[in-house]
Structure 1
Amino acid sequence: MNAPVIEAHALQKTFGVTRALAGVDLAIHRGESVAIMGASGSGKTTLLHVLAGIITPDSGSVTFRPSEGAAIDVAALGESARSRLRRERFGFVFQQGLLIPELTAVENVALASMINGVSRKDAIPHAAAWLAALGLAGMEDRRIGELSGGQAQRTAIARAQATGAELVFADEPTGALDSQTSSEVMDALLWSTTGQGRSLVVVTHDAEVAARCTRTIAVRDGRIIAAAVNA
């Protein structure tokens, strides 16, 4: 198997007296999807945040290997460099989408590219193409409050892909959705990531969501206690 797109080694993270990560090793390969499961407080979201460079570990390393260029020691980067890495190389989908309600769907998606220096003239049609690919053609000019929960999440998925992110992190992306909409959102998320040769890391409480990923990692008390390849 090729080198991991992102690899963590001996991650430790403590918040006060709580040990959120207690020596985690994990490798994510290009083109695979990995679900991280565990009870509340198990450390699964902290693990995602450390992998994504949102927070830094107390010790240990996180190495990101882009398709082009040298490997990046994520944990060693300063705050501004980590922010740039997240903006340019990673995509994010959260439970509530975190979309800007004052903007239209296409403007929300285009904003990701515009922040990276792409002109509005170029970003808007690119964003519209991603919305269309995810089944939202004709909804480009709707504001977020005019979309259903599933449509809003697909808009968030389009935003995560608009910059060409090689690695997408999703934190409970279906947590607020009914089972049918959840399945549709996972269809969109998998198609737009692993379906395009990209990688996906999903934190979820939903066993059905996890089962659709390549692998499932179980976390408890800041440690990986089980790992399984899904059929």
Structure 2
Amino acid sequence: MNTTILSARSLSKRYGDGIALNNVDLDIAAGESVAIMGASGSGKTTLLHTLAGITSPDAGSVNYAGTEVSALNETQRSKLRREAFGFVFQAGLLIPELTAIENVALALMLNGVPRRDAEAQSAGWLAHLGLAGMEARRIGELSGGQAQRVAIVRAQVTGARIVFADEPTGALDSHTSANVMSALLAATAGRGNTLVLVTHDPTVAARCSRTLYMHDGVISLAPAAHPDATPPPVAHPVSTQDGSTFMQNQNWAGQP
């Protein structure tokens, strides 16, 4: 059994009168891919941000590989995010003025890698994701799926052990979504690293090794009852074979 790499105990978070997290306990194993689903306002994004050290809980603790994340100050949390975590968001949060290779290389350069070496490493990983020849294109010159693959490379290239993804396929059509999800899984769980993602799409969640459901700030193993609810598709295991063609991972220089 894989070792627990990330855990939460008694996590609570309020925004005004609303309860975003209500005494949440969670364990995530190294190499696992975990999808978090739930209605808007259920607390799923707050949980993701709290696990990643972007948001501080009002009560409770988050532990990453023996480090109590919730006890770190902002400078320490920023360093942890930069060195150990990667991030992929629906909008990508790529820098539009920079090229694909510059966006990826920046993550390495923030960790002290010289520019020439950073760009050489970045070019290799972009090629692994089918983006050879597109290194010099600015983000606006790429399709949505291509831009998300750039974001995945950026999230992996520095060696991140956990990637946090918030609706990474939310703005994509179904075909592109499937391709991006294949790349994301291969680059994380397929290489023995960990993926935690928020999604509204049951077909995306079904590709993860485990799905959790948020309802009123509480985790359950089944979706909240809804008269129009459709059961999620049956999950299938993540192929480690896919991961053999993808990269060693990175991190986004996370900001609070």
Question: If the length of structure 1 is used for normalisation, what is the TM-score?
Answer: 0.96
Shift of 1:227: 5.6
Query: Residue in 2 aligned with 1:68?
Result: none
In the other structure, the counterpart of 1:108 is 103
Q: Which residue of 2 aligns with 1:126?
A: 121
Match of 1:206?
201
Whether 1:21 and 2:21 are equivalent positions in the alignment is: yes
Distance 1:64 1:137 in 2: 35
Contact 1:172/1:205 (8 A) holds in 2? yes
Q: Deviations over 1:158-193 (max 9, x none)?
A: 000011100000000000000000000001000100
**Aligned residue runs from structure 1 range 54-133, under 5 A:** 54-65=54-65, 71-133=66-128
Residue in structure 1 matched with residue 184 of structure 2 by the alignment: 189
Aligned residue type for 2:161: E
Unaligned runs of at least 5 residues, structure 2? 224-233, 237-256
| TM-score normalised per structure 2 | 0.86
Secondary structure of residue in 2 paired with 1:153: helix
Question: Which residue in 2 is equivalent to 1:150?
Answer: 145
The alignment's C-alpha RMSD in Å is 1.2
Equivalence for 2:38: 38
Match for residue 174 of structure 1 among 169, 175, 178: 169
1:215–1:227 contact (8 Å) kept in structure 2 = no
SS at match of 2:221: strand
1:36-93 Cα deviation digits (max 9, x unpaired):
000000000000000000011111111101xxxxx11000000110011111110000
Identity of aligned residues (%): 66
Distance 1:230 1:209 in 2: 9
> What residue is the counterpart of 2:235 in the other structure?
230
Task: Please give the per-residue CA displacement for 1:107-142, whole angstroms capped at 9, x wherever unaligned.
Answer: 000101111111101100111111111111110000
Query: Are 2:2 and 2:31, in contact at CA under 8 Å, matched by a contact in 1?
Result: no
For 2:6, the aligned partner's letter is: I
Structure 1 counterpart SS, 2:30:
coil
Counterparts in 2 of 1:222 and 1:146: CA distance versus 1, 3 Å: same
Q: Which consecutive segments of 4 or more residues in structure 1 shift more than 4 A?
A: none
Gap change, CA 1:73 and 1:227, over 3 Å in 2 = farther
Contact 1:43–1:219 (Cα < 8 Å) also in 2: yes
Separation in structure 1 between the aligned mates of residue 181 and residue 194 of structure 2, nearest angstrom: 14
Q: What letter is aligned with 1:151? A: Q
Q: In structure 1, list runs of 5 or more residues that go unmatched.
A: 66-70
CA–CA distance in structure 1, aligned partners of residues 202 and 145 of structure 2: 19
